Amino acid sequence: MSTSDTQLHYLSIRQAGELIQRGELSPVELTRACLDRIEVTDDRLHSFILLLADEALEQARTAEAKGPMHGIPFALKDLYDTAGIRTTSGSQVDIERVPTEDATTTARLKAAGGILLGKLAMHEFALGGPDWTTPFEPARNPWNLNHITGGSSSGSGSSVASGQSMGALGSCTGGSIRGPASLCGIVGLKPTYGRVSRFGVVTLSWSQDHAGPMTRTVEDTAFMLQAIAGHDPRDPTSSHAPVPDYSRSLREDIRGVRIGLPRHYFFDDDPGVNREVVARVEQAVSVLEELGAHVEEVTLPSLDYVRAANSVIMVSEAFAYHEPNLKTRPQEFGEIVRGRFRIGGLMSASDYLQAQRVRTWARRDFAQVMKTVDFLVTPTMTQPAAAFEGFDPMSTTRGKSFTAPFNVTGLPAISVPCGFTESGLPIGMQIAGKPFDEPGVIQAAYTYQQYAGWHQLNPAI
């Protein structure tokens, strides 16, 4: 591990933004630093599907917006539409697809002065992987190149963790923002369902998809969220809830905050859950207590059924979306995704409705508990990053999921680094809050981050 904070590509968005605003750093210099970093690392990381070097430098030369994102290089998971630029969703099916307009989130980041570096690797259509039968090389974990990044926002995780980009957008249906964030040692926020527009973001599961930021620090996540949050009339699920100033949440104070620990699911003795992960999160919870939080155990009976509901809803809705191509061009899908999408076609209306009944129960169950606590704190993932060798991508469909409950319920949840395994692989802690309480979630995560300091460590690649 190294603490390369003096290198431009490892500046935080906050640090770089302040230098740019003072005229001590130009967007062009910063963009060149990221492009140089990509040049020397991406032959090993494979974070990028498409690099837009010339376009990024031109954007940097003409950047005029003011604010925290002005002149900041970012990258997009390759299911965010980009006008005139190929958007593949990591699949041969869409290998030549070129959208005619930007996704709302893409447009908002550009309007805020962000510099688009390129499109990032991902698991095909945001489901399954890594899959060697798709057109693109799987992204690799900067902390250990022999290990996966998690999915499906795989390139987003590796790009941000390695200093290739200062921030990225991921998408999340069962944990695809928080998972790679945890496994790559960065911050990933899944906002409340409806907080961020999904217009122009290729669909996996209409009722569970979320768009959100992935960055190296909590404050950078707040800045990116500020740029993309808010109602969008082109997204029928987009919320009209007012957007607060998230920078006001960057305060170190959780005194008196009530934290709920669902030990019966997230912390119990389970052969499918890594004990190092649980131990590190337990230590992080103790830090939160030292900082003034009150911790109590809570029980959520619906948790035992939420993973199944998430999966049934996901593959059913995915099959409905992809059915025409599955019937006419099945050979162009990778093996893993083709198989899982076809399972969705075998689900009955009864299966789907029963899963939705579980979802209703879970929402009610979580809402009741959230009347007694401010946040839920859990491990983000059941395991650290697995090695590529011998990894079974279908293993992610079995056992517990620590992230899926918050896709099913739509509650905001953030993953923040909380340590490493003995072998040097990152571990993340998940903090989930009440609907649209991104400010509270950000403040709790920021308070922990500032005390623990794990964000100051960078992989030696």
Active site residues: 77, 152, 176
Closest of 110, 101, 112, 41 to residue 75, by C-alpha: 110
Token reading at 184: 């790559």
Cβ atoms of 65 and 113 closer than 8 Å? yes
152 preceded by a cis bond (ω within 30 of 0)? yes
Beta strands of 96-165 (E only): which ranges? Answer: 115-120
CA–CA gap between residue 185 and residue 221 (Å, rounded): 14
Contact 73, 34 (CB under 8 A): yes
Q: How crowded is residue 144: how many other Cβ atoms within 10 Å of its Cβ? A: 18
User: Alpha-carbon distance 191 to 246, whole Å?
Assistant: 12
Task: Find, among 131, 136, 176, 175, the residue nearest to 156 by Cα.
Answer: 176
Q: Say how many C-beta atoms besides its own lie within 10 A of residue 327's C-beta.
A: 9
CA-based R_g, the chain, Å: 20
The rounded distance, in Å, linking the Cα atoms of 456 and 247 is 20
Give 434's contacts (C-beta < 8 A, 6+ positions apart).
Answer: 370, 374, 411, 412, 440
From CA 285, how far away is CA 296, in angstroms rounded?
A: 11
* CA–CA separation, 246 and 303 (whole Å): 30
| Number of other CB atoms surrounding residue 364 within 10 Å | 12
DSSP 242-273: PP--GGGG-----TT-EEEE-HHHHTS--TTS
The values of phi and psi at residue 329, to 5°, are -140, 45
Phi, psi of 398 (to 5 degrees): -110, 155
Q: Could you tell me which residues are beta bridge partners of residue 296?
A: 260
CB 72 within 8 A of CB 145: no
Cβ atoms of 32 and 88 closer than 8 Å? no
The answer to whether the peptide bond before residue 130 is cis (omega within 30 degrees of 0) is yes
Tokens of 378: 């859990």
